[in-house]
């Protein structure tokens, strides 16, 4: 008997293309025979976890034979202090990615729709598609706009109708690095109908030291249709532990917790995240390293005459001016992993993570050699 599993899958799943993450170092070195590689593809913190998080991980190792606290009490207590919110407003996730999927599972059906921007984080479309809901991608700002490729809130608003249940907004946005300022974002959230939930994904907010950038978490108490998702994977350096959280009204959080899997955040992640939240010194070092690295890369790409986009994140989107695949491949052969974004409809672009000064210089040297034909 031959089993055709795809024929047995739900219709929406049969036509779903999986998300492809950035290439890991081990895979590159195994396939290409290179050594001493660097990964600047997945927007990870080059400093890794801070000392407080590392100590908390070590302290939690002895309890690995036990299931984690399914309610995440200690982490929620830390988040309550940090955001001055109630415990009932917090939902924990296995990274903010899981939370975005949970939100789609909880509120989308084949009879409704979700709205997002053309070049927004790929998971919005994937999570929506998996539920069978209608996907509505709004055109992004065009080239020449000061936030080229970024979210056009007016275009997104035009797609909201009686069937819309979710609007996904990344602020700042991955993979473009663009951002929305406080006033237009607030007007948008306040203007959508009450049957629409607005999900503001703030995975990179700690890096966003730009004028008029909002702390959307402060709006949750007054906006019952707002969900804010955040992660410890980026600025807090805990990508390998997978832990994130959502802030919302208690009513929305109650719905999310109905689809949240038991023990979805492991013991090491719970302990490390609670410690990382209070480690302001490590966060400040991270943000300063990113600020200096951003200036380093922006100056270098300007000298190389490569088009780059404004970024409030820990990465830059770069237009190679030609198909980016060969440039990506040539960097791989030099032991440098960056991120092609052809899957986003940007075949000439690469997304490059900001690393340490030495890592940045190695990547810059690779670009220079490739563009000069070496």
- Domain borders along the chain are 22-48+281-371, 52-278
Runs of H (alpha helix) within 84-210: 95-107, 122-131, 153-158, 182-191
Q: What does the pLDDT read at residue 14?
A: 78
* For residue 15, pLDDT beyond 90: no
Among 28-37, 99-108, 237-246, 318-327, the minimum mean pLDDT is found in: 28-37
* Range in 16-20, 207-211, 309-313 the model is least confident about: 16-20
**CA distance linking residue 22 with residue 204, whole number of Å:** 17
The mean-pLDDT minimum among 27-41, 145-159, 198-212, 232-246 falls in 27-41
Q: Which of 60, 67, 88 is nearest to 261 (CA)?
A: 67
Position 18 scores a pLDDT of 72
| pLDDT top residue among 148 and 372 | 148
Mean pLDDT value of segment 151-180? 98
- d(C-alpha 212, C-alpha 217), whole Å: 15
Q: Is the pLDDT of residue 1 over 70?
A: no
The predicted-structure confidence for 263-301, as pLDDT tens digits, reads as follows 999 999 999 999 999 999 999 999 999 999 999 999 999
pLDDT band of 189, cuts 50, 70, 90: very high
Helix axes 95-107, 122-131, angle to 10 degrees: 40
Measuring CA to CA, how many Å separate 192 from each of 16, 160, 225, 278, 325? 29, 8, 9, 35, 40
Quote the pLDDT of residue 329: 96
Question: d(Cα 117, Cα 290) in Å, to the nearest integer?
Answer: 26
CA dihedral 315, 321, 324, 328 (to 10 degrees): -60
pLDDT at residue 119 is higher than 80: yes
Record the pTM: 0.94
Give dist(CA 53, CA 271) in Å, integer: 7
Intrachain domains 22-48+281-371 and 52-278 with the same fold: no
Is the link from the previous residue into 288 a cis peptide, with omega within 30 of 0? Answer: no
pLDDT score of 22 more than 90? no
Kindly indicate the confidence band of residue 20, based on its pLDDT and cuts at 50, 70 and 90.
Answer: confident
Q: Quick count: other Cβ atoms within 10 Å of Cβ 167?
A: 27
Q: Pick the more confident residue, 21 or 123.
A: 123
* pLDDT at 88 > cutoff 70: yes
Cβ–Cβ < 8 Å for 123, 96: no
> Where residue 193 falls among pLDDT bands split at 50, 70, 90?
very high
Domain 52-278: give its CATH code: 3.40.640.10
Residue 374: pLDDT over 60: no
R_g over Cα of the chain: 21
Sequence-separated contacts (24+) of 152-158 with Cβ below 8 Å: 152/117, 153/180, 153/184, 153/185, 153/188, 155/117, 156/115, 156/116, 156/117, 156/188, 157/188, 157/191, 157/192
Give the percent of the chain with pLDDT over 70.
99
| pLDDT reported for residue 2 | 65
The CATH number assigned to the domain with range 22-48+281-371 reads 3.90.1150.10
Cis before 162? omega within 30: no
Mean pLDDT estimate for the chain: 95
């Amino acid at each position: 008997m031959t089993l055709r599993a795809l024929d047995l899958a739900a219709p929406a799943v049969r036509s779903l293309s999986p998300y492809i993450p950035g290439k890991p170092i081990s895979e590159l070195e195994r396939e290409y025979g290179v050594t001493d590689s660097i990964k600047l593809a997945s927007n990870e913190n080059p400093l890794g976890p801070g000392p407080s998080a590392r100590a908390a991980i070590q302290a939690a190792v002895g309890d690995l034979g036990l299931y984690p606290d399914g309610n995440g009490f200690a982490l929620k207590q830390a988040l309550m202090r940090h955001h001055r919110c109630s415990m009932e407003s917090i939902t924990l996730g296995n990274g903010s990615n899981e939370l975005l999927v949970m939100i789609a599972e909880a509120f989308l059906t084949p009879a409704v729709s979700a709205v997002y921007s053309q070049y927004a984080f790929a998971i919005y479309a994937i999570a929506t598609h998996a539920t069978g809901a209608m996907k509505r991608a709004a055109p992004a700002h065009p080239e020449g706009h000061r936030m080229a490729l970024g979210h056009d809130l007016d275009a997104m608003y035009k797609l909201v109708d009686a069937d819309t249940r979710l609007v996904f907004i990344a602020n700042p946005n991955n993979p473009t690095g663009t951002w929305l300022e406080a006033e237009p974002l607030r007007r948008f959230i306040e203007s959508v109908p009450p049957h629409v939930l607005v999900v503001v994904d703030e995975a990179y907010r700690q890096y966003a030291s730009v004028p008029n950038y909002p702390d959307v978490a402060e709006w949750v108490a007054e906006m019952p249709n707002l969900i804010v998702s955040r992660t410890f994977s980026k600025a807090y350096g805990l990508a390998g532990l997978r832990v994130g959280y959502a802030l919302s009204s208690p009513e929305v959080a109650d719905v999310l917790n109905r689809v949240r899997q038991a023990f979805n955040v492991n013991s090491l992640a719970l302990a490390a995240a609670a410690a990382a939240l209070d480690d302001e010194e490590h966060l400040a070092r991270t943000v300063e390293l990113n600020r200096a690295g951003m200036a380093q890369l922006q100056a270098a790409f300007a000298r190389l005459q490569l088009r780059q986009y404004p970024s409030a994140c820990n990465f830059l989107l770069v237009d190679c001016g030609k198909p980016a695949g060969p440039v990506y491949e040539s960097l791989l052969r030099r032991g440098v992993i960056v991120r092609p974004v052809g899957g986003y409809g940007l075949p000439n672009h690469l997304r490059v993570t900001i690393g340490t000064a030495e890592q940045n210089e190695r990547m810059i040297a690779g670009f220079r050699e490739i563009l000069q034909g070496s």
